[in-house]
Amino acid sequence: GMTVPEEYGGLGLGITSYNRVLEAIGARCGSTAVMVSAHQSIGCKAIMLFGTEEQKQRYLPKVAREYLSAFCLSEPQVGSDAAGQETWCKLSDDGSHYILNGEKKWSTSGALSGMFTVMSKQRRDDGDVVTALICTPDMDGVEIFEKNRSKTGIRGTWQARIRFNNVRIPKENLLHGEGKGLKVALTCLNFGRCTLSAGITGAARQAADQSTKWVQTRYQFGRPLAEFELVQERIAGMAARIFALDAMLYIMTGMLDRGDDDIMVETAMTKVFCSQVGWEVIDESMEIMGGEGYMTENELERLWRDSRIFRIVEGSNEVMQPFIFAYGGKQLAEQMIGIQEALGWDGDESVLGNMSRFMRNAFNPKVAARAIPLAAELFMGYRPSAPDIDGISGELRPYARRLADLVRRHANMFKLASKWYRDEIVTRQAVQARLADSAIYLFALSASLSKMDSLIREGATGVGFDRDRTAFEHAFDLFELRIEDRLRSLKKNADSSMLKAASAARAWNDTLPNELFYIHESSPNAAGTGKNVDTEAIRQFPGDDAGKREGAGAVENGRTEDVDVTETTSESA
């Protein structure tokens, strides 16, 4: 109950303090970090944020001290599309309860939890909406038919499949109101994306410290590995990335602690950056430790396995990139559409109507103030001046100017890309990803500059500050190069040959028999035609019958007294 308010039996920690705990946990056990995050960041977070006082009184003391909670969003057919729920609920004729039907997948700790936050599609006369409900495993019709599956990493976690068969949910278990479930889900995911970022930041820091210690003390050719330049390149890169990870994570938690509005883009950028760059650190650590890093007794391989999932969960990075592009560029898109509607030629309108509208708007000062600078930038090569970044320590002003110039160039290239690709940009995800990556690295540099400025103002000194200062400088160089690469490739890239090669590879794959490969269970065109899943999976838990999925069974009513946690932990590393 770290984040549960004290009046409900929790510790009442702020988001920053909570994430520092998650970072420390992530350095030691990715499974525990994921389990804690699933419980406190998304499982019961909806009640803390949107619950009624009665709901808080009823559930928060229990989730603080007695049992876990689970977040039920994903389904066999629903992964990244949170709005596409197939689990559905309907208000009963007498209005006393909701009838819930459907199936949920990947519910972390679902088989061990005493409470579920369930997203469902509600059928109403005025249209379908997403509604959030509080459900408990002791309700009639709740079936946990698969408590866990064997995994590559985070083996200490349990991911359940839960079936709801005409479950009667009391109306007082409605969260935030009918039709507001999507807001509930996306808001909770903001917190979940931060805590997952904290977990991998801790893991990356631990991996870097371990691998650097290894190459400092491992000798080849008569000297430490750390004296070789290619190894130093990796050591410096890890230090730079960790500085940026820390800076970005905690500037984000500060926003959450302040209660800033509309931060979905920032949390998405934090999640993408931390999961990708954190993985890079851990993978680099594996490389410089060599064969010994791959061995289980040195623990690095567990950090390596556990960290791979972070790029997939809480919205895969490939889904987050187009979202960052679309949501982050919404203001520019609205501005350009407005100018187009005011001054553009409409083929469905008469010549007289077009001319009248053009003349009327061309002399409108508000329209001109927006249209003239944009037209100059798009068609005449005009480059606006870089924004001012004030209040920075004198010794950091060169970095502030570099950052400001990168911001100017990013904004200019965003507009030019919109001009080059026009309507096609809506479907060009490779282009969207480059612009999203550029924005993500700009956020990382901004956070890093802010952190270094704070350290200087605090009077930080010593070997720790020397490490941070040089890491900051190297991070600036590294991510500046990445931004330049992403912006340059908006115009010069391999997209044309990529699309042709992908099409040819897909055509070749269609000639291969389905029965030789695994096919998704809910595939609309190939379900049931693929290779049979090997149910004799790797044994991970004392109660999983050597990993047989059909023997998973259920934990009755969320009770965990029959689970030997000590044995589970020791066997699941």
pLDDT at 336: 61
pLDDT at 474: 98
DSSP code for 40: I
CA 394/CA 398 separation, integer angstroms: 8
pLDDT at 124: 82
From the number of C-beta atoms within 10 Å of its C-beta (0-12, 13-18, 19+), residue 430 rates as: middle
Confidence tier at 113 by pLDDT (50, 70, 90): very high
**Total residues found in the chain within this entry:** 573
CA 478/CA 321 separation, integer angstroms: 20
CB atoms within 10 A of CB 78: 21
For 337-351, write each residue's pLDDT tens digit.
555 555 555 566 666
Burial pattern 457-476, b for ≥16 Cβ within 10 A else e, equals eeeeeeeeeeebbebbbbbb
For 478-521, write each residue's pLDDT tens digit.
999 999 999 999 999 999 999 999 999 999 999 999 999 999 88
DSSP code for 426: G
CB 229 within 8 A of CB 50: no
CB 443 within 8 A of CB 403: no
Percent of the chain topping pLDDT 90: 71
| Per CATH, domain 365-495 is 1.20.140.10 | yes
Catalytic residues: 314
CA 393/CA 386 separation, integer angstroms: 19
How many CA atoms, within 13 angstroms, populate the side-chain half-sphere of residue 85?
Answer: 27
pTM score of the predicted model: 0.88
**Partners of residue 72 on adjacent β-strands:** 118
Q: Calculate mean pLDDT across residues 143-170.
A: 93
pLDDT at 558: 38
For 22-76, write each residue's pLDDT tens digit.
999 999 999 999 999 999 999 999 999 999 999 999 999 999 999 999 999 999 8
Residues 6+ apart with CB under 8 A from 362: 343, 368
Check whether 85 has a pLDDT greater than 90.
no
Check whether 553 has a pLDDT greater than 60.
no
Average the pLDDT over each of 79-88, 144-153, 154-163 and give the range with the smallest value. 79-88
Confidence tier at 361 by pLDDT (50, 70, 90): low
Check whether 86 has a pLDDT greater than 60.
yes
Task: Tell me the residue type at 527.
Answer: A
The three state secondary structure string of 470-520 is: HHHHHHHHHHHHHHHHHHHCCCCCCHHHHHHHHHHHHHHHCCCCHHHCCCC
Residues 6+ apart with CB under 8 A from 329: 414, 418, 435
| Per CATH, domain 185-319 is 2.60.40.2310 | no
Q: Given CA atoms 406, 412, 415, 421 in this order, what sign does their dihedral have? A: negative
Check whether 397 has a pLDDT greater than 80.
yes
CA 286/CA 300 separation, integer angstroms: 7
Cα–Cα separations (whole angstroms), residue 456 to 450, 452, 460, 469, 477:
10, 6, 6, 9, 20
Check whether 253 has a pLDDT greater than 90.
yes
Per the prediction, the chain carries an average pLDDT of 88
Nearest Cα to 66, choosing from 35, 5, 14, 112?
Answer: 112
CA 272/CA 439 separation, integer angstroms: 11
Give yes or no on whether 185-319 and 365-495 have one common fold. Answer: yes
Cα–Cα separations (whole angstroms), residue 339 to 41, 365, 380, 412, 572:
42, 13, 17, 17, 59
Query: Structural domain boundaries of the chain?
Result: 185-319, 365-495
Confidence tier at 368 by pLDDT (50, 70, 90): low
Task: Tell me the residue type at 194.
Answer: C
CA 103/CA 116 separation, integer angstroms: 13
